[in-house]
A and B are shown apart, each in its own frame.
Chain A
Amino acid sequence: MTLTTRLRPRQANAFRHEAFLYAGRSEFFAGTVSFIRDAVAADEPVLVVVTPAKIDLLRSGVGDVDSVFYADMGEVGRNPARIIPAWRDFVAEHAADGRRLRGIGEPIWPGRSAAELVECQRHERLLNVAFADGPPWWLMCPYDRQALEPEVIEEAQRSHPFVRQGGQEWESPAYGNGDADAAAFAGTLPEPPERPSELVFGTGQLDDLRRLITRRATSAGLDPVQTADLVLAVNEVATNSLRHGGGQGTVRMWQDGDRLICEVRDAGHIQRPLVGRERPSTDKVGDRGLWLVNQLCDLVQVRSSETGTVVRLHMWQS
């Protein structure tokens, strides 16, 4: 690894986004521990965001080092739209003095649902947009090539400019972020498995909408805090429909196992790829809504084009 690193030096002033394709626990351990040790040797702070079991594993391998930080991906990345802000916070806190940084982030694991997986993959592509202008830091994303489906590994090679496997690393020939801005919200979402309940809303009707969501969330078994969060989240998305989405929208709701899903559809068009993943500034009202929704919901799916916008909010019974 040291050899190939020397042959292909990191671009000094760029973000390096690398997929680490490992097979099993021992390859994971070897690859990540040496990555962290190299960082410590180079005086580069490292943030490791993986499952708690892997945090324990790496702590035992690396020992207690002040410049190595750990976070639970199950918390940070439960909704993958919260991961970019976490990396931004880390970068803002530690790169101020021009120091280089490293990160290890494993957002995708076999237990992720189909909807979560899709959002994780969008997140991976958005990382290239979020850090396109620096600062120079190096993010390694482990993918378990034994446990994950081959298509997931193929997509990792398309979303990461660099790939590392078995002590080798190379520029990914499959990488192509294309028009990332256009792709951020492209595509459609699968239709609900059951016939959803539906409500069309317009100006002055959000109170009715809030009551409907409250009833539905309560009967779906969400606790009062989750219910209040979901009501607020749907209210803000619907408010965006009234402000920017043609003045009206349609809400659909259905249950998928232990998850309640609320969808808001309107005629608006969201164009900024990182909306909802950037801490809100004081002046952009719409941005605050999607930011808040990402913090309150367990999963958020946004699809938008010239023909309209769909925002799906998922809440899981706790």
Chain B
Amino acid sequence: MFDPSVTLCPGQHVCCVVNRAEERAYRIASWTREGFQAGERVVYIEPRGHGDAFLRCLDHHGVDWKGPARQGQLVVCTPGEAKLGRGSDQDRRVSEHAEFVEQSLKAGYAAVRMSVEARVVLAALRDIGALLAYESRLEELCSTRPVSVLCFYDRKAFGSHLKAAAGAHPHALVEGQVQAWTAPGRVWLRGEVDISNVELVGALLARAAAEGGELAVHLADLSFIDIAGTSQLIELARRLSPHEQLRIIDPPPQLPTILQVIGWHAPNLTVEEVAS
């Protein structure tokens, strides 16, 4: 069961992996509501012919969208209107996005938040490489302008590409079970890491470690980690060069048990318990 108390972080580029329709509906509705409340412009990209599924979802969750839609705060557009068709190249696509952001800010909105089903983008762009390139341009946009993007990924539709897709985002929320926030040299994990999400968590760890130096992994809000999750951390520590360091901070109780029982250690791994 997903944890409904998990909220998404505004101003971020989030990979949201969902496998239950109810969870997806809940996330998109609360994300939209938060956008309205924060005075942000909310953009949702939906293919034509979906019969307003998005708006019905907002109705179902009691989000009043009619006023914002009239005022132009809520924009529901097709992939074509969002320049996701094959006709436009990445530069043009992203510069149009940036232009839209500028207009929105001039119109008085605090920020722009955009949400899209990655499957829809994939269908428009036709290949996974183009999707990943688009994701990295979105990431640039999010880190330079007041923009947040929530990308829904359907596990079944992406299969083995899901790991690469997750690694294209600094933040991930996987099936309501684990949240990962990353910044260069830092990772925060919340929830539970197990076989169902360990690969994606590994992808985000690798992303945070990519710049080298010290990586601090903050686990105070993680309530469970299994052998596979611990092994991701150990493997990461073992790949570090001698002057680099992996710091595990405030791990859940399973982690020291696993390290001790399996006899795992690495020269540049430290486990720190911060007394609360």
Contacts and interface: CB of A to CB of B under 8 A. Distances in A.
A122 to B, nearest CB: 22
Which of A203, A232, A242, A243 has the most C-beta atoms of chain B within 10 angstroms of its own C-beta? A232
Contacts of B254: 228, 232
Contacts of B7: none
Given A239-B226, A288-B227, A206 B194 contact: yes
Contact of A204 (B19, B261, B262, B263): B19
B275 interface: no
A268 to B, nearest CB: 15
B139 interface: no
12 contacts: A204-B175, A206-B195, A207-B177, A207-B194, A235-B194, A235-B224, A279-B263, A280-B263, A285-B227, A285-B228, A292-B227, A292-B261
A291 interface: yes
Interface in B185-229: 192, 194-196, 224, 226-228
Contacts of A239: 194-195, 226-228
B231 interface: yes
B107 interface: no
B57 interface: no
Interface string B242-268: 000000000001100110011100000
A228 B19 CA distance: 28
A229 interface: yes
A224 to B, nearest CB: 9
A295 interface: yes
Contact of A291 (B196, B253, B257, B261): B261
Contacts of B21: none
Interface string A170-198: 00000000000000000000000000000
A45 interface: no
B231 A285 contact: yes
A296 B227 CA distance: 13
Interface string A137-177: 00000000000000000000000000000000000000000
A232 B226 contact: yes
A225 B177 CA distance: 23
Given A203-B196, A204-B175, A207-B192, A229 B19 contact: no
Nearest to B230: A288
Contact of A280 (B19, B175, B224, B262): B262
Contacts of B192: 207, 210
A104 B14 CA distance: 60
A232 to B, nearest CB: 5
B258 A292 contact: yes
Interface of B: 1, 19, 175, 177, 192, 194-196, 224, 226-228, 231, 253-254, 257-258, 261-263
A289 B231 CA distance: 12
B241 to A, nearest CB: 19
Contacts of B194: 206-207, 235, 239
B276 to A, nearest CB: 16
A228 B196 contact: no
B262 A235 contact: no
Contacts of A242: 195
A295 B260 CA distance: 10
A243 B257 contact: no
A225 B254 CA distance: 10
Contacts of A207: 1, 177, 192, 194, 224
Contact of B262 (A206, A231, A288): A288
A44 interface: no
B227 A206 contact: no
Contacts of A223: none
A208 B261 contact: no
Nearest to B197: A204
B23 to A, nearest CB: 11
Top 3 A-B residue pairs of the complex, sorted by shortest distance between their CB atoms: A295-B261, A204-B196, A239-B195
Interface string A294-307: 01100000000000
A289 to B, nearest CB: 6
B253 to A, nearest CB: 5
Contact of B226 (A225, A228, A236, A280): A236
Contacts of B226: 232, 235-236, 239
Contacts of B253: 225, 228
Given A228-B254, A231-B224, A242-B195, 16 more contacts: A203-B196, A206-B194, A207-B1, A207-B224, A225-B253, A232-B226, A232-B258, A235-B224, A236-B227, A239-B226, A280-B262, A285-B231, A288-B262, A291-B261, A292-B227, A295-B261
Interface in A251-302: 279-280, 285, 288-289, 291-292, 295-296
Contacts of A288: 227, 231, 262
A206 B257 CA distance: 19
Contact of B261 (A210, A228, A296): A296
A26 B26 CA distance: 74
B221 to A, nearest CB: 15
